[in-house]
């Protein structure tokens, strides 16, 4: 790793999700393609790649389950692996200290799930003073049903996430924009 001031956060891109009842395959191939482009681009530029895994007491997310591993199809050689038990990757983990010790001030956020751990980590990171690029196309989520019975598609959820993050907590970026910004942020 070089003296880069940028880190790519790959949040919860793990096999655990394949074992959840809401898992859908429709968007997975595109997600893996976009996520891999970010990983490869960050590595090529010499920037930190942080792999974050969610762990908890649910069967699929227990460390001893065998599912807390990189999502099949992704190739990643992270600079550090962080295990978290909350939605924000900053709560109860050494992430902030690790980033600050390396002088990192810009984060590129990607991973699973768009509106949960990715969004929460983005908000928390911005509140801690990090500049954040949120790469929606390199996030994955699944349809959700509101208490009223209205179904929100993955695309609906991604649009809503962009709406609430843009200009407040993050710059919404494509893979290409984020990779271009990485080069400028060093």
Per-residue model confidence as pLDDT tens for the chain (186 residues)? 445 799 999 999 999 999 999 999 999 999 999 999 999 999 998 889 999 999 999 999 999 999 999 999 999 999 999 999 999 999 999 999 999 999 999 999 999 999 999 999 999 999 999 999 999 999 999 999 999 999 999 999 999 999 999 999 999 999 999 988 654 443
Residue 103 lies in a domain: yes
Going by C-beta distance under 8 Å and a sequence separation of 6 or more, which residues neighbour residue 150? none
Count of CB atoms situated within 10 Å of the CB of 84:
21
Residue 1 lies in a domain: no
pLDDT score of 82:
98
Residue 35 lies in a domain: yes
Domain that holds residue 98: 6-185
Structural domains counted in the chain:
1
- CATH code where residue 124 lies: 3.40.50.850
pLDDT score of 3:
52
pLDDT score of 1:
41
Residue 87 lies in a domain: yes
Give pTM, 2 decimals. 0.94
């Amino acid at each position: 790793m070089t003296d880069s001031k940028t880190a790519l956060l790959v949040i919860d891109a793990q096999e655990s999700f394949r074992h959840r009842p809401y898992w859908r395959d429709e968007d997975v191939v595109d997600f893996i393609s976009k996520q891999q482009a970010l990983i490869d681009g960050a590595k090529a530029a010499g920037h930190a790649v942080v792999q974050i895994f969610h762990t908890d007491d649910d069967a699929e997310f227990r460390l001893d389950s065998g599912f807390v591993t990189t999502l099949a199809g992704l190739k990643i050689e992270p600079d550090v692996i962080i295990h978290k038990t909350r939605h924000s990757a900053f709560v109860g983990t050494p992430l902030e200290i690790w980033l600050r010790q390396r002088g990192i001030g810009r984060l590129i956020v990607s991973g699973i799930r768009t509106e949960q751990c990715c969004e929460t980590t983005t908000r928390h990171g911005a509140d801690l003073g990090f500049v954040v690029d949120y790469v929606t196309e390199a996030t994955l989520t699944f349809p959700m049903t509101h208490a009223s019975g209205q179904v929100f598609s993955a695309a609906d959820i991604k649009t809503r996430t962009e709406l609430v993050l843009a200009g407040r907590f993050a710059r919404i970026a494509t893979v290409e924009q984020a990779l271009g910004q990485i080069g400028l942020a060093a």
